[in-house]
Amino acid sequence: MPKINELKKGSVVELNGVPHIVKTYDVRNPSSRGASTMYKVRFNNLKTGQKVDETFKGEDMIKEVETTKVSVMYSYIDGDNYVFMNNEDYSQYLLAADELEEEQKYITEGLTGITALLYEDQVLAIEMPTNVELEVIETNPGTKSTGAGRTKPAVLSTGYEIQVPEFIEPNEIVKVSTLTGKFLSRA
């Protein structure tokens, strides 16, 4: 049984005998001495889909639920669902678009390096690769600027807007961190 401070987004735990997945995780350090660090966690109930907010102390223990991780590839959108294909047995998993709010910014057709978290053959969440390559669709023309660190906005192929260095041109492929959402380099 792990402590609350060992949880991360996507962890599956048991609350009141029902499996829940960690959606958001917020650490609150108190300003007074001697007070313990508090952890505010938002869970989704895996049976009802209901959101549950709980607050814990750092030393609190919680029971983890056994899950399976499989390597998947993004295939296509089917209505409001994203379809992922298992890289080993080619089985398909559906995940609702509202479950992928953050990840949608980085998902492109044929994207590999994704890990799906399964519970009873249902996809609970996906873990994105640490960085992805996306095409710059729209940005101002590049300049040969001598000002180091100057950036401009750019719209990527997924519709996500980031800041890129001034020398980046439209139709270039760039690497973007899925952890920070920021430009890393040219691809």
The domain ranges of the chain are 4-30+37-64, 68-127, 131-186
Collect all residues with Cβ–Cβ distance below 8 Å to 165 and sequence separation of at least 6: 149, 150, 151, 152, 183
Q: Are 182 and 167 in contact (CB under 8 A)?
A: no
Average pLDDT over residues 77-102: 90
pLDDT digits (tens, 9 = 90+) for 140-170: 886 766 566 789 999 999 999 999 999 999 9
Nearest to 123 by CA among 158, 82, 78: 82
The CATH architecture annotation of domain 4-30+37-64 reads: Roll (2.30)
Tokens (6 digits) for 18:
């029902």
Predicted structure pTM score: 0.73
Fold of 68-127: OB fold (Dihydrolipoamide Acetyltransferase, E2P) (2.40.50)
* SS3 category, 98: helix
Handedness of CA 179, 39, 5, 23 (dihedral sign): negative
CA distances from 21 to 53, 170, 172 (A): 11, 39, 37
Tell me what pLDDT residue 27 has.
84
Tell me what pLDDT residue 147 has.
60
Worst-scoring range by mean pLDDT, 19-33, 74-88, 113-127, 162-176?
19-33
131-186 is classed CATH 2.40.170.20: no
Give the mean pLDDT of the chain: 87
Give the C-alpha separation, 77 to 94, whole Å: 9
Domains 4-30+37-64 and 131-186 fall in the same CATH topology: no
